[in-house]
């Protein structure tokens, strides 16, 4: 554990030493063994049945879940006292990454082990855990989570499902409809949110066989066709009072804390999916011949391959840096103390902004990757006999569930600004320094002996740019800033690119000696590509944000700052892209594993 653990959002105002970050090169032998076990299970038990699963043969999904239970893949987060493994977040995220090759099965797995199981672990009474947890982590029962309704998606607290106490005081009677419930068709236990007396938002543990619970028909979906997605209809559903989960009126705590976990695990899962898609594209690029050459030898294809590889390197670096932050924080909490899981969730909530960053950045890396893989396949990428078509359809949902990417973009700066208002981050003071720097041009020469000095300078400058944007925005809009969604989303894009780029550079710096001389050159190439691409994205977002906030002389000053602080010397970029692409095509897989 590091001596000083950064607070959530503090990366924006602090220089992080590379020694303090967790990287994939830091995995222990035990963690690598978990990854290998998971990878082999998916390859041998799930992958051969992907086509049948996509035809909604849910018996195969349920059977796969039971087999997962038998080898311990459902008990990663469960406490040891109930037969769980209680593993660190890096391990559970690594398993999530490896499950991603299971197509739609991975959706069932992620829903079960995340939002299906965690509410019970975090909030269940000993009696509730005795009754349900062993069945859930063994795979005997599958679990689902019922929050969304036909009229309330992102606005979860706008739910209309109701609960009233029965006349004899033994049951709550639930009424309403829940929509888009993953695992709905075969789950045995549902975490259902409803308002007691139309006021107190509360969670309930509802068994499939409880009177009044009706499972709706399967939705006909664009992608992830092999996952069960149904409505759940509560028609005077009788739920024993002992099945209230957590405190009455505190259901929002369960809903939002569990979603934080879902977001960072999704980041790991989509990173794994991007690696699989990239490998498929590389193999096809070497097989397909046009004009008597492999298409992987053409510059237009090489550029796609290089950008995908660098993107995935950044995604992976970000995910496991976040895993390290979470594990370091959670290690400070003594197990077995009263209120352990309350403190545990606060530990995760500390990095809610970073969880949102993981969800947004990594899901959009996957989106770009599968799009390019389809493009590499040409017309065959549009044909369902080729896996690129399924990757493309299955990807799309990742930018919608676990909170849409738009909602997460709003949450990221919102949570950081709230920390500043509470005095937890000295954001305003740092923003004032940043704004002053606009009027003090710097001509400092860079020390070329420092590894990745150009990229480190860019990161420091982008942090200044974010602070200017956030500071000016907060000063102008004050407590009405939450209404300025366009400005917040622009600020979010700058914050996202900073975290991703810094994660990549810190990983490269820390693990440089871990790699062979050839891989070191590839590492430098990946970092250069990341820096160029992310500087362009952050600069565009900051420029847009400046126009949203100001006008006149202040706008002119801010735009000058955008040009200055998003500047990056990408000399050698083309050579870096060609080097990375040729190596990836030669190995036909993601390079940094």
Kindly tell me the number of DSSP H helices and DSSP E strands found in the chain. Answer: 19, 10
pLDDT in tens, 49-101: 999 999 999 999 999 999 999 999 999 999 999 999 999 999 999 999 999 99
pLDDT of residue 441: 72
Q: For residues 92 and 296, what is the distance between their CA atoms, to the nearest angstrom? A: 35
Between the alpha carbon of residue 489 and those of residues 123, 314, 365, 407, the distances in Å are 33, 21, 18, 9
Topology of the domain comprising 145-245: Butyryl-CoA Dehydrogenase, subunit A; domain 2 (2.40.110)
Q: So where are the chain's domains?
A: 10-141, 145-245, 251-405, 416-587
DSSP codes of every residue in 492-526? HHHHHHHHHHHHHHHHHHHHGGGS-HHHHHHHHHH
Biggest CA–CA distance in the chain, Å, is 81
Q: For residues 84 and 72, what is the distance between their CA atoms, to the nearest angstrom? A: 8
Number of CB atoms found within 10 A of residue 429's CB: 13
Q: Is CATH 3.40.50.261 the classification given to domain 416-587?
A: no
Lookup: tokens for 516: 């062979």
CATH architecture entry for 251-405: Up-down Bundle (1.20)
pLDDT of residue 443: 66
Q: For residues 487 and 413, what is the distance between their CA atoms, to the nearest angstrom? A: 10
pLDDT of residue 377: 98
DSSP codes of every residue in 20-46? GS--GGG--HHHHHHHHHHHHHIIIII
Q: Is 290 helix (H, G, I), strand (E, B) or coil?
A: strand
pLDDT of residue 1: 39
Q: Do domains 145-245 and 251-405 have the same CATH topology?
A: no
Say if CB 507 and CB 526 are below 8 A apart: no
Of the chain, the end-to-end C-alpha distance in Å amounts to 24
pLDDT in tens, 214-244: 999 999 999 999 999 999 999 999 999 999 9
Q: For residues 144 and 314, what is the distance between their CA atoms, to the nearest angstrom? A: 32
CA 216 from centroid of its chain's CA atoms: 29
Phi, psi of 201 (to 5 degrees): -70, 120
Kindly state which CATH superfamily the domain 10-141 is placed in: Acyl-CoA dehydrogenase/oxidase, N-terminal domain (1.10.540.10)
Lookup: tokens for 409: 């973009």
The residues that are catalytic are 402
Secondary structure of 195-229 in the HEC alphabet?
EECCCEEEEEEEECCCCCEEEEEECCCCCCCCCCE
Say if CB 96 and CB 110 are below 8 A apart: yes
Please report, in tens digits, the pLDDT of each residue of the chain (593 residues total). Answer: 346 889 999 999 999 999 999 999 999 999 999 999 999 999 999 999 999 999 999 999 999 999 999 999 999 999 999 999 999 999 999 999 999 999 999 999 999 999 999 999 999 999 999 999 999 999 999 999 999 999 988 887 889 999 999 999 999 999 999 999 999 999 999 999 999 999 999 999 999 999 999 999 999 999 999 999 999 999 999 999 999 999 999 999 999 889 899 999 999 999 999 999 999 999 999 999 999 999 999 999 999 999 999 999 999 999 999 999 999 999 999 988 989 999 999 999 999 999 999 999 999 999 999 999 999 999 999 999 999 999 999 999 999 999 999 999 999 999 999 999 999 999 999 999 999 988 887 667 888 899 999 999 999 999 999 999 999 999 999 989 999 999 999 999 999 999 999 999 999 999 999 999 999 999 999 999 999 999 999 999 999 999 999 999 999 999 999 999 999 999 999 999 999 999 999 999 999 98
């Amino acid at each position: 554990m590091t001596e000083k653990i950064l607070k959530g959002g503090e990366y924006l105002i602090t220089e992080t030493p590379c020694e303090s970050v967790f990287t994939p090169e830091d995995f222990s032998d035990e963690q690598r063994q978990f990854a290998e076990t998971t990878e082999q299970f998916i390859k041998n038990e799930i992958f051969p049945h992907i086509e049948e699963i996509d035809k909604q043969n849910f018996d195969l999904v349920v059977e796969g879940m039971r087999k997962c239970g038998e080898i311990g893949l459902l008990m990663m987060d469960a406490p040891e006292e109930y037969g769980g493994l209680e593993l660190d977040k890096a391990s559970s995220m690594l398993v999530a990454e490896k499950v991603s090759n299971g197509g739609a099965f991975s959706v069932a797995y992620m829903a079960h082990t995340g939002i299906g199981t965690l509410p019970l672990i975090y909030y269940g009474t000993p009696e509730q855990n005795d009754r349900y947890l062993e069945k859930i982590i063994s795979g005997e029962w599958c679990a689902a989570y019922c929050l969304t309704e036909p009229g309330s998606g992102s606005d979860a607290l706008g739910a209309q499902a109701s609960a009233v106490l029965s006349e004899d005081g033994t049951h709550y009677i639930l009424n309403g409809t829940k929509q888009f419930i993953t695992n709905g068709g075969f789950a045995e236990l549902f975490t259902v949110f409803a308002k007691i007396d139309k006021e107190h938002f509360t969670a309930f543990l509802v068994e499939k066989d409880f009177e009044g619970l009706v499972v709706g028909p399967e939705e006909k979906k664009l992608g992830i066709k092999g996952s069960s997605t149904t409505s759940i209809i509560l028609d005077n559903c009788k739920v024993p009072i002992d099945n209230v989960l957590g405190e009455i009126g505190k259901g929002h705590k369960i809903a939002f804390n569990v979603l934080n976990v879902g977001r960072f695990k999704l980041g790991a899962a989509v990173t794994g999916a991007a690696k699989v898609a990239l490998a498929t594209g590389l193999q096809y690029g070497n097989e397909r011949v046009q004009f008597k050459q492999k298409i992987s030898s053409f510059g237009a294809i090489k550029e796609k391959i290089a950008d995908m590889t660098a993107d995935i390197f950044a995604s992976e670096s970000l995910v496991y840096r976040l895993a390290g932050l979470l594990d370091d924080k959670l290690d400070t909490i003594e197990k077995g103390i009263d209120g352990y899981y309350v403190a545990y969730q606060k530990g995760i909530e500390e990095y809610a902004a970073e969880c949102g960053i993981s969800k947004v950045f990594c899901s959009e890396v996957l989106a770009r990757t599968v799009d390019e893989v389809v493009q590499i396949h040409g017309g065959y990428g549009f044909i369902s006999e080729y896996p690129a078509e399924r990757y493309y359809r299955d990807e799309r949902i990742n930018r919608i569930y676990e909170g849409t990417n738009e909602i997460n973009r709003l949450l990221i700066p919102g949570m950081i600004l709230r920390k500043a208002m509470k005095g937890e981050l000295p954001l305003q003071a740092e923003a004032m320094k940043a704004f002053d720097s606009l009027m003090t041009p710097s001509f400092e020469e860079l020390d070329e002996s420092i590894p990745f000095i150009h990229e480190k300078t860019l990161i420091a400058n982008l942090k200044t740019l974010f602070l200017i944007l956030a500071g000016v925005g907060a000063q102008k809009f004050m407590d009405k800033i939450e209404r300025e969604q366009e400005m917040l989303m622009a600020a979010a894009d700058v914050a996202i690119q900073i975290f991703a780029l810094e994660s990549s550079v810190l990983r490269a710096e820390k693990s440089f000696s871990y790699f062979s001389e050839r891989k070191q050159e590839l590492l430098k190439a990946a970092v250069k590509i990341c820096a160029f691409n992310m500087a362009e994205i952050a600069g565009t977002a900051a420029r847009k944000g400046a126009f949203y906030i100001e006008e006149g002389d202040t706008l002119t000053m801010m735009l000058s700052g955008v040009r200055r602080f998003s500047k990056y010397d990408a000399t050698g970029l083309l050579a870096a892209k060609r080097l990375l692409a040729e190596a990836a095509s030669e190995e036909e897989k993601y390079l940094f594993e």
